[in-house]
Amino acid sequence: MSDRVNIRRLATGVPGLDNLLGGGLPEFSFNLIAGTPGSGKTTLAHQIMFSLANADNRALFFTVLGEPALKMLRYQQQFPFFDIDKVNESIRFVNLSADLLDGHFGHVLARITEEVKDFSPCFVFVDSFRSVVQSGKGDTTKGMPDLQRFIQQLGMQMTSWQATTFLIGEYLAEESESSPIFTVADGILWLSQNLHRNSVVRKMQVVKMRGQSQATGLHTFRINDEGIQVFPRAIIKPGIEAGSTIAESDRERRIPVGVPGLDEMLGGGLPFGYSMLVVGPSGSGKTILATQFLAEGVRRGEAGVIAAFEKSPSQLLSKQLNAMVADGKVGVIDTRSLDLSIDQILHDLIEMIGRLQAKRVVIDSLSGFELALAPEFQEDFRVSLYRMIAELTNIGVTILMTSELEDRYTDLRFSPFGSAFLADAIIVQRYIEITGQFKRVTSVVKVRGSEHSKDIRFFDITDEGIILGETLSEYDGIMSGRPTVSQ
């Protein structure tokens, strides 16, 4: 056991990337950073390099065919990770374009080998290669076999240097299968930016990471003034069902929701770690219920987090909620951007939940949430939402989501997203017409694995919040909006 090779995992310094890689970058691995132009390859490489390189672990950065090195230095300096003090001391930039002038890759390879010997770096980056293979045209391109052979040789050499190495190249997706370099590489990071309608979403995929269980699938990342930040896609870990990390003692616990009488209707409160959906038409009192839910938590010393998609932070919600936010008892997730991915929201939520030790989370509302996402993510909103809820309930928070219900007076729906099945509990709010008045009624439709009241009750909204009224026992067809007196 102790004789086995123990592979050190290096922290990349890119937020979120280590999770994606399955714990970090294996030392001495040969990695390919591939992607389309403008997808952030060089920025990613630089961020990793500046984070890893120091006086004892030096890095060599070769520029070959990519953007002019002058421009690269000019623009990369804008990022805070670009530490000028490391340049020339622990990081050396080497331009190889002269060695490539005669088109002889042998010279380039010789030069690279020589520089590596000379500087004995721990990290080597070669940026970048545009593959000359164009899809469809195939093998007739002259010089292509040379380049292929060169890259393959480079790959072989790189593995033998006792250095962690990176080859940065422009590739089209179709080439990935034909290019031998993809076979040689230990790790492949694929970056892309996808245009969907009017929004651009950056995605990263760890196609391969030898010896580690990387997070599969496409993960969104963003490049801002700080550099690259990756948002690992929420994945329900195999063998872990939602809520399974919740302590046994907590399982039986019920969470008071903060509306007198509603806990009894729920069978004694909302079970711990449940997600509850509150559906109702506009103005029915969903946000008020959500606010009371958070306030009840605060009263019991439990912090909360709200992702409010319905209102802009400036005109934030009720006075009650504002006060809780001002006291730092409730955190608000910034949801102003309209190009969000669900994983960004989840990332921000989890971070804030951790920071505040929050126990209650409100998402107000799912309709607003969907609108705030980049169009690309709206298509699989339900799937992503499912993953997100699973992830959140798994870390032991209880969730209240609101969802707008269209005012249809002839049929009954719980959610326009068909997301009702995602919720462990459902509360419906409705307007009904009765003796010439609009009245509000509410009912508990579902509490998974628990007894609950089947009553339909009037409720009013007062300055004190939601006040439950009497049960409508003598009417039929209430939920259709047009009740008739029972015969």
Partner 1 sequence: METSGRSRHQIIQSLTEQNTGNVAATAINQWELMAAQIISIVGEGGFNALYLRSAFLASSIFPWLATPSLSIQVDDRFANLRTSLEGQTPEQASAANGLLLITFSDILASLIGEDLTTRILRSAWDIDAPSQAGKEFNHE
Shortest distance, position 53 Cβ to partner 1, whole Å: 16
Distance from C-alpha of 484 to C-alpha of 128, rounded to nearest angstrom: 74
Distance, CA of 340 to CA of 251 (rounded, Å): 33
By CB under 8 A, which span of 34-42, 71-79, 257-265, 466-474 interacts with partner 1? 71-79
By CB under 8 A, tell whether 88 contacts partner 1. Answer: yes
* Least Å from the CB of residue 92 to partner 1: 8
Residue 283's alpha-carbon distances to 310, 368, 439, in angstroms, are 12, 15, 12
CA distance 14 to 25: 11
User: Which range binds partner 1 by CB under 8 A, 68-76, 161-169, 244-252, 439-447?
Assistant: 68-76
Q: What is the DSSP string of 129-185?
A: EE--PPTTTGGGSTTHHHHHHHHHHHHHHHHTTTSEEEEEEE--TTHHHH-THHHH-
From residue 66, alpha-carbon distances to 41, 60, 381, 407 in Å are 10, 16, 37, 57
Closest to partner 1 by CB, 87 vs 461, is 87
Q: Please state, in angstroms and rounded to a whole number, the distance separating the CA atoms of residues 194 and 221.
A: 12
Among residues 402, 385, 364, 367, which one has the least CA distance to residue 279?
402
Nearest-approach distance from CB 84 to partner 1, in angstroms: 5
Nearer CB in complex with partner 1: 67/264? 67
Any idea what the Cα angle at residue 302 is, between residues 300 and 306, rounded to 5°?
125
- The single-letter DSSP state of residue 194 is E
Nearer Cβ to partner 1 (110/200) = 110
Q: Which of 7, 11, 87, 434 binds partner 1 (CB under 8 A)?
A: 87
Chosen residue from 74, 104, 408, 413 binding partner 1 by CB under 8 A: 74
**C-alpha span between 313 and 331 (Å, rounded):** 12
CB of 402 to partner 1, least distance (A): 50
Q: Does 69 bind partner 1 (CB under 8 A)?
A: yes
Number of residues counted as binding partner 1 (CB under 8 A) = 18
Show contacts with partner 1 in window 92-121 (CB under 8 A). 93-98, 101
Q: Considering the complex, what minimum distance in angstroms separates the CB of residue 79 from partner 1?
A: 13
Q: For the chain, what is the largest distance between any 2 Cα atoms, rounded to a whole number of angstroms?
A: 96
- Selected from 7, 73, 218, 479, the binder of partner 1 by CB under 8 A is 73
Binding mask 25-64 for partner 1 (x = CB under 8 A): --------------------------------------x-
Contact indicator for 315, 422 with CB cutoff of 8 Å: no
Q: Is 156 in the site for partner 1 (CB under 8 A)?
A: no
Which residues of the shown chain bind partner 1 in the complex (CB under 8 A)? 63, 68-71, 73-74, 77, 84, 87-88, 93-98, 101
